[in-house]
Structure 1
Amino acid sequence: MNNILIRPTTASDWPALKAARLAALLDAPTAFGASHASAAGFSDADWQQRAVSTPQRTFFLAFDGDKPIGLAAQVVAGNGECHLIAMWVHREYRGLAVAQGLVDAVKQCAVNNGHARLVLDVAPENARAAAFYQKQGFVFLPEWEALESHPHIQVQKMEWLAPA
């Protein structure tokens, strides 16, 4: 774990962002609102633009040396809600502190951008993820919606509130 670095992406990180995102979508195709096919269709310019961090959207990558091993993002929706999305850690690194580091980075980013609340969507069948988020201080809300990439899957909203 001592060589793991977590940081926001910059335009030059686009190949690593693309690699991590496509790996995540192949690894857990029903866990994300996007599909592998849609993401694989993005141009290099699209990935470069996505890798640029803004208050509206910041991707964080976890690196082991120069290898991207984890991903998470903070995105502000049209309604002003701040979301934790695209959370994924390479299978070999699960159970270590990588996922917690990614969530902490997204929380800090949200708070730094003036958001006292962070929300995410999780499929309750994804018990490991749901339990992990609960350990990170997220609580389930009585709000459900269909997963955009797989409308037959219902996901439940969770929220985290920054300490006052």
Structure 2
Amino acid sequence: MNHILIRPTSAADWPALKSTRLAALLDAPTAFGASHASAARFSDADWQQRAVSTPQRTFFLAFDGGQAIGLAAQVVGANGECHLIAMWVHPEYRGLDVARKLVDAVKQCAVDNGHPRLVLDVAPENTRAAAFYQKQGFVFLPEWEPLESHPHIQVQKMEWLAAA
């Protein structure tokens, strides 16, 4: 493993963002609010637009050399809540601190954009993810909703609060 680099995407990163997001959706189809089929329908122009970082949406990619090996994003919802979404690390890199670095980048981005609270949704049955998020300072809230891409799966909200 070379030096792992975590950075926000730019328009030029759209091919890496597209391939990493599609790989994530194939690897863990019931872990995300989007489906592989819906994401695969995005045009190249859609991916270019998604790759441009804004205060409302920033994707982060983890790179090992020139290869994208992980993904996470911060997105501000219509209600003003800042969300950690699209969290995924290539199976060969799980357990190697890549996920923590991605979450740290999303936390810093949220705080830098004036959001001291970050929320995410996770299926509690996904015990590895739930335990990981708890280690990163997230706590479960008594809020549940159906997963958009698989409505039969109930996800629970977790939150992280920046230190005052």
SS at match of 1:140: strand
**Distance (whole Å) between structure 2 residues aligned to residue 96 and residue 143 of structure 1:** 31
Matched AA of 2:115: H
What code does the residue aligned with 2:50 have? R
| SS of aligned partner of 2:140 | strand
Distance across 1 between alignment mates of 2:41 and 2:66: 24
Q: Cα deviation per residue 1:18-45 (whole Å; 9 max; x = unaligned)? A: 0100000000000000000000000000
**Whole-angstrom distance in 1 between the partners of 2:3 and 2:49:** 27
2:98 alignment partner in structure 1? 98
CA distance in 1, matches of 2:82, 2:138: 13
Q: Which residue of 2 aligns with 1:80?
A: 80
Could you list the runs of 5+ residues in structure 2 that have no partner in the other structure? none
Give the gaps of 5 or more residues in structure 1.
none
Question: How far apart in 2 are the matches of 1:19 and 1:98?
Answer: 18
- The CA distance in 2 between the partners of 1:2 and 1:24, in whole Å, is 21
**Partner residue in 2 for 1:115:** 115
Aligned-pair CA distance for 1:3 = 1.4
The Cα RMSD (Å) is: 0.6
Asked if 1:47 is matched to 2:41, the reply is no
| Greater mean alpha carbon deviation, residues 79-88 or residues 2-11 | 2-11
What amino acid sits opposite 2:114 in the alignment? G
Cross-structure match for 1:16? 16
CA distance in 2, matches of 1:49, 1:102: 21
In the TM superposition, residue 2 of structure 1 has moved relative to its aligned partner by: 4.7
**Identity score, percent:** 88
**Is 2:2–2:65's contact at 8 Å kept on the other side of the alignment?**
no
Give the count of matched residue pairs. Answer: 164
Moved over 6 A (4+): none
- Which TM-score applies when normalising by structure 1? 0.99
| Equivalent residue, structure 2, for 1:37 | 37
1:68 alignment counterpart: 68
Aligned mates of 2:62, 2:40 — CA distance in 1: 21
Q: TM-score, normalised by structure 2?
A: 0.99
| Counterpart Cα distance in 1 of 2:119 and 2:46 | 25
Shift, 1:54, TM fit: 0.1
